Structure 1
């Protein structure tokens, strides 16, 4: 097993951390896949290098020659009576001076290590209200689509060992690949970890949480119980809001990601579900008249349509009239 000290004196490792390129990234990515037991030490070494800034020291012109000349002119002191007793001191001093000069000349001290100051992390908080959606590009290049009534917290710069964000509500995330800095989303006591992938998280408070993986692979950890699950593309983790029981099931990718593409989707939705979706999507308040005998299992899809057009289509199928006044909508059965 390779130690962090061995990494720190490995020229290829230092070159990769200091000046990464496609060739080095490909080499070290394959190396990590084949040597997973060394990842912890590798990450520690990388962290040390990233937190350390090297400033090259250049000796003044002529200094090396001056040191050499000085060494050549040094002669033992002429003290015959003390020569026998102190010769070892003179020899030791000469060896020390020569060693120091050679070290300087050889360039071992031609770099001064300066600890880089620890930067304060600035957290950003983005919120959306009903009828509002937001798209973000994070510092690492990852993209986030934030759905209505959601909150997303993230740092201005990610650290050297991980990329951690916090979500309340719903977001679709496309993670930029970085094998050394896992992307972690904290939501409702669960931590979803990814390296380079795309997934959707829908956290609805007392209604539970759903984590749906579209591409790649993620690990979902329960902070309180240390329980974890691995999801593969097309799999969705659902946690029951009452029992806390977790289950993994298949899902339709189009259904999960449609909202970020401007598609309003209903699949056998009840009247209450339709109203909730419309209120969140368009930022309105819907009041219903005489809905007691209405039973819905409504399925339809609308792409970038106005509320009026959607209600006209629904009203034709479900037999109701509607009235829109600003942010207030009345549906009459």
Structure 2
């Protein structure tokens, strides 16, 4: 059966047949191998589909946990599997496209300019995929504005606050981030931009090369991995490279970790050691949850996303290096 926009619309409205429902489920699970079909839908329809299937996935997990408790399974320790195989691949797919049930993250469409303003008013880092496939990890109290579709010679976005970018490579179409005082230009790399009104503007590079311009002058610096540019007193661009810069970017450095039936309270110290931060929870029930997961080439925010969704929890950033986990119920 061919998956058409009409069948997807019926799926979203719960009016499809059992056979159509099964076909859409199978198609969605194979999205990693054939992503083109999803592009038949606009962004709102994509989000609606992913949320619908994501909620069914979570409800299925909850049902299994409740069933296990009724059958006499230890209700203090659950084994939750988040491995890239079988049904768990659906969960990881949703992470890739930035869909969660966080009520604190919202987007607003500007019809006249065909732009979207995406804001994070929560307490954790939130991921958003841009139209070109680039990823933006948006910090709390931050907003990114971008077009519904990149056209012309440049891929231009505007940032207020802080975000880490993983820009898809496109030599012919440079990626430009405009903020209050700086303009950052790249072709394909990963870096962090800080553009708060009450703090010095900064750009730090993890991979690739980045050019940074002061908006009110011709001042420009080129940055390589491990380097940072800071706008001092709103006037001078200063470049530096030291251990502190590398420590600030450590949470974005990708690692590979594997956990097999390990309690959460044992996982947090391992993450703290790998990323040089402090993750903790004061909830005994959460600390005693058992987790199984393989994280291959993942940054800390990506790992935290997968863990929090798997154990029905959330986290807040007490500062740039401290993360507090709490259960959702």
Instruction: From the two aligned structures, give the one with the greater helix fraction.
Output: 1
TM-score (norm 1): 0.42
Q: Which has the higher contact order (CA 8 A, sep 6+)?
A: 2
TM-score (norm 2): 0.43
